Amino acid sequence: MNIGFIGAGKVGFSFGKYLSLNQHFLSGYYSKNLDSALEAGKFTNSLCFDNLYELIKKSDIILITVPDGQIKAVAQEIATIQGLNFSNKFFGHCSGAFNHTILSDLKSLGAYTFSLHPFLAISDKYKSYRDFSNAFFTIEGDDMGTKMASSLVKSLGNHYKVIDSNCKPKYHTAAVFATNLMVGLCDMASDLLMDCGFSKEEASLSLSNILRANLENVIQKGSVNALTGPVERNDEGTVITHLNCLSNREDYSHVYKDLSLHLIEIAKIKHPDRDYSDLEEKLMVLG
């Protein structure tokens, strides 16, 4: 199967390189700017196309790796191209937020459609392909699209999961919790340290070790066994002290309270013999 890319950005470059290094044949790239397609072709030893017609004609699988906001428009543009036979073509995108139905204009012309999301932060056009061997992929699509995408990922040796198309927004929310919202939490911790006189560099240095160790614990042991701290210990006094010192930062205080209420649910699993109801009540009222 020849694989073509529309959108020579971070994912197009990286995924293309990973596929080509794993014995898949790339037809090449089309992109908004010809220079990007040319560069991606050089990087992956494939061709660059200056029109969608030729790229699609020469590809069996077409991955639309443009920004999320452009996927629908690109699919609509492809659907207007005359003289293409869509019946044996597979069109997919790599968005975490959208499902395959965003490609319905192509489906109605007889193409198979799917989404194939690498659960990965891809930040560098030239280096991020090295992270792909550990990437977990999430797949959904129509029957044929799902089957094809699954066998493609299987051939690469990556872990993957096929999910219900309706779960795509929730799946993406999960990814945001694990990545972007974590960034927000770390930034809040750093801010509070700076309130205590730390410089930005000192805050970052002091957090680096504890962050790594904590994440490693969550990964290795799971949330229940990794949980420590005042909520787990049912230490009401400390929790109230923390909330008091956040009294001039209402947003921080809301985050502290809401996450602590969730931590109580985890703590109850860890210590079924402990009664967290007083702490729970305090958190509901305070904060």
Ligand X SMILES: NC(=O)c1ccc[n+]([C@@H]2O[C@H](COP(=O)([O-])OP(=O)(O)OC[C@H]3O[C@@H](n4cnc5c(N)ncnc54)[C@H](OP(=O)(O)O)[C@@H]3O)[C@@H](O)[C@H]2O)c1
Two structure tokens written together for 173: 């929310």
**Which tokens hold the place of 229?**
């701290």
Least separation, in Å, of the C-beta of 41 and ligand X?
12
Strands 112-119 and 136-141: antiparallel
Smallest distance from ligand X to CB 75, Å = 10
The upper half-sphere exposure of residue 144, i.e. CA atoms within 13 Å in the direction of its Cβ, equals: 12
Q: Which is nearer to ligand X, 17 or 257 (CB)?
A: 17
Three-class secondary structure of residue 63 per DSSP: strand
Note whether 99 and 113 are within 8 A (CB). no
Measured at the alpha carbon of residue 24, what is the angle toward residues 73 and 22, in degrees to the nearest 5? 120
Shortest gap between Cβ of 139 and ligand X (angstroms)? 13
Which residue bears the tokens 């529309």?
6
Return the number of the residue (52 or 246) whose C-beta is nearest ligand X.
52
Nearer to ligand X, 170 or 262 (CB): 170
CA distance 81 to 84: 7
Quick one: 8 or 227, whose CB is closer to ligand X?
8
Nearer to ligand X, 12 or 141 (CB): 12
Query: Whole-number minimum distance, CB 112 to ligand X, in Å?
Result: 19
Q: Which residues bind ligand X (CB under 6 A)?
A: 6-12, 31-33, 36, 65-68, 70, 74, 93-96, 117-118, 120-122
Of the two residues 111 and 122, which places its CB atom closer to ligand X in the complex? 122
Cβ-closest position to ligand X: 9
Q: How far is the CB of 280 from ligand X (least distance, A)?
A: 37
Angle in degrees, 0-180, between the axes of helices 180-195 and 200-226, rounded to the nearest 10: 130
Q: Who's near 138: CB < 8 A, 6+ residues apart?
A: 96, 115, 116, 117, 119, 160, 161, 162, 163, 171
Asked if 142 and 165 count as a contact pair (C-beta separation under 8 A), the reply is no
**Cα 221 to Cα 178: distance, rounded to the nearest angstrom:** 16
- Cβ 31 to ligand X shortest distance, Å: 3
